[in-house]
Amino acid sequence: MKISVFDIPEEGLNIELNETPKIDGVIIVDSFKAILRIEKNGREVFVKGVVSGDVELQCSRCLKDFNMPIRSMVELIYHPIEELNKEELVELKRDEMDVDFYREGLIDTEDIIRDQILLNIPMKPLCSEDCKGICPHCGSDLNRSNCECEVKEIDPRMAVLQSLLRRMRKDG
Ligand SMILES: [Zn+2]
Ligand SMILES: [Zn+2]
């Protein structure tokens, strides 16, 4: 949804919408919901609210697809793009809100949702904090069953200890 800055009334706007932004490599389950409060002060526009929905990600350990819910607070301050590089912006740095820019008097809510999704997707997604992943030898899913390989493999710390013991026996 594109919101025209000129159409934002004095008392502000409350909007609720569903959108499915296109993002490369991200599968959106259903659509994302945004509940936003939009206010204007001169050419400055304030957007506050919450964006929520589910994305489907692939676990970086077990390679299974899983749904991750995202719920993100939005707190943005918009300025017209023409103000970019002007001195006025130095002032903005004191503010803790995120600064964004609108073009041709339009704010696209799809961009807001897209940004929130991208901000919340982890670099290494995990289906669960303690996902055991797949066995590097036989490829079986260790969350479902333990494979034989795991037993044969020796903990590197144990290996050091074993060689130490062997040496001690030889010396003694
Ligand atoms: Zn996993
Ligand atoms: Zn295995």
Q: Would you list the domain boundaries of the chain?
A: 2-120, 132-172
pTM beyond 0.95: the answer is: no
Residue 120: CA count within 13 A, CB half-sphere? 21
Distance 56 CA to ligand 1 centre (A): 13
The C-alpha atoms of residue 54 and residue 66 are separated, in whole angstroms, by: 10
Nearest ligand to residue 132 Cα = 1
């797949």: which residue's tokens? Answer: 134
Distance 123 CA to ligand 1 centre (A): 14
Distance 154 CA to ligand 1 centre (A): 23
Distance 138 CA to ligand 1 centre (A): 16
Helix, coil or strand: residue 5: helix
Condensed to tens digits (0 to 9), the pLDDT of residues 15-40 reads 999 999 999 889 999 899 999 999 99
Among the listed ranges 104-108, 139-143, 144-148, 149-153, which one has the minimum average pLDDT value?
149-153
Condensed to tens digits (0 to 9), the pLDDT of residues 51-89 reads 999 999 999 999 999 999 999 999 999 999 887 776 655
